[in-house]
Structure 1
């Protein structure tokens, strides 16, 4: 009696598919191994390989240790450009583009309609982010103001890209137009920024952005309450958090993998302030 082929299913195909897809979803790092089990398993598991996609670019630092994903070492992005757009369309939910090139941006962003979480560092002076892709589920966006609106006179937070957005993390500086437009993002509950001057606009934002629950100043140096008594009300508002976040891409990656990132840490801090476990600043 011969040894059964590993390519012959021992379970009903629907149940077997559900088992392997659950394994791939719960542990994305196991996907390359799962793909070696059988051809049918490769077809089921491969889309989960791209659920979190990180492109670092030529000579950029890479993530090390647990959590490395397959395209971090594709400096020429050849494999990305050779991947059928249908794979991205079906799979990618979390995307980090750190110094990617225009052909790669167009190839991926045009196919990622179900993207939920985007980190992008790029000079969009000629090609605004909002004109490149039109996701239907985008909830978290990390980018620069220049990437969103290269022309400060054309700030438009009514664009469909912001329809379902709940988390917005802005790199670099805020413009007056950008600050004034934020209340138009009706579903915005979480806002983060690193522009020290923008802290002085937070009291107004907390009044005008009705849904805001978390505002994070990703600081390099904290703003001391003693030096700015005009911000007394802000120090007493539990929704405002000053937080250092040095390795931002690694933090984004862990958030996509586990749900634990600077957003969740800020939420925990706010809960402790509201419960009295952490005292309000004097």
Structure 2
């Protein structure tokens, strides 16, 4: 009688095991993709669910769960053979022609792009039209790029710096603005004033979460109230600033009366810090706790002022 170590499992259970392992660690997912064709088909959607395409000289690899870092990088040997000033092509862009047109549109849900050229931006955005989250850092917004952005119609979160021109003419009627619920913007530029942001916010009718990383310019006292007036559905206004945080903590600045305004210290890290260390859950806990305390205090006051039965 022949004894074998092979364990036959139902296909559904086998797939569930591989998908769970791939979701735990990206390095494991990459190894599993070469086990067998069927396993590759199971784990690749997980690998490509989160994609980072950054054209940077030196970027360290990351191993967060369900995160596939695809960044432009050149080895020393390759750089010695490359012509001077020739732009490098990020690996993800080289991968696009190797998959069916619908592959990335169906599987990429979170996309982060930084310091890319116009052709590369158009290529990536045109391939990943099904994303729900977009991070944008140090890219040039041009008419062809804006046209590609207008093809995004299921975006609910947008994180940008000032290279993303909110007043760009071609974006006035962009479909993504109507579905956006979370908007993160970094204003670290002393030439930028907070007040011009107010009219733009009126184009985000579904916005519930707004995060603003302050630069050198202090907004007017009424700025928070103007934001809430422009965004009637807003649940949290998160202000990220070291100076505001320490002033509020030390009592030099009074906390805003609206319980939905949260001031936190700017997260430490590179441009991906807002994604790797997401502050929204913490901000939501703070607002929820405040509202609970306010409701309990209101109920206690009502009970204390209620007429007592004789």
TM-score tier, shorter chain, comes to: 0.7 to 0.9
Q: Tell me which of 244, 254, 257 is aligned to 1:236.
A: 257
Would you say 1:86 and 2:102 are equivalent positions? yes
Residue 208 of structure 1 corresponds to 230
TM-score (norm 2): 0.71
TM-score (norm 1): 0.77
Equivalent residues in 2 for 1:200-279 (5 A)?
200=221, 201-222=223-244, 224=247, 235-244=256-265, 245-247=267-269, 249-254=271-276, 261-276=278-293
Q: Is the contact between residue 129 and residue 148 of structure 1 (CA under 8 Å) also seen in structure 2?
A: no
Residue 189 of structure 1 corresponds to 208
Would you say 1:69 and 2:68 are equivalent positions? yes
Residue 258 of structure 1 corresponds to none
Residue 120 of structure 1 corresponds to 136
Distance 1:125 1:174, change over 3 A: farther
Q: By how many angstroms is 1:125 displaced?
A: 4.2
Distance 1:198 1:271, change over 3 A: same
| Distance in 2 of aligned mates of 1:3 and 1:41 | 22
Q: By how many angstroms is 1:27 displaced?
A: 4.8
Q: By how many angstroms is 1:272 displaced?
A: 2.3
- Paired positions, count: 263
Superposition RMSD on alpha carbons, in Å? Answer: 3.2
Structure 1 residue runs of 5 or longer lacking an equivalent are 256-260, 278-282
Would you say 1:110 and 2:126 are equivalent positions? yes
Q: By how many angstroms is 1:126 displaced?
A: 2.7
Q: Is the contact between residue 56 and residue 62 of structure 1 (CA under 8 Å) also seen in structure 2?
A: no
Q: Is the contact between residue 141 and residue 165 of structure 1 (CA under 8 Å) also seen in structure 2?
A: yes
Distance 1:239 1:114, change over 3 A: same
Q: Tell me which of 131, 139, 142 is aligned to 2:159.
A: 142
Q: Is the contact between residue 190 and residue 213 of structure 1 (CA under 8 Å) also seen in structure 2?
A: yes
1:44-95 per-position Cα deviation (integer Å, ceiling 9, x unaligned): 2112211111123222443556567342464533532222343321221111
Structure 2 residue runs of 5 or longer lacking an equivalent are 75-87, 295-310
Equivalent residues in 2 for 1:22-41 (5 A)?
22-25=20-23, 27-41=25-39
Which deviates the most, 121-130 or 237-246? 121-130
| Distance in 1 of aligned mates of 2:108 and 2:17 | 20
Distance 1:246 1:70, change over 3 A: closer
Provide the secondary structure at the position in 2 that maps to 1:24: helix
Residue 10 of structure 1 corresponds to 8
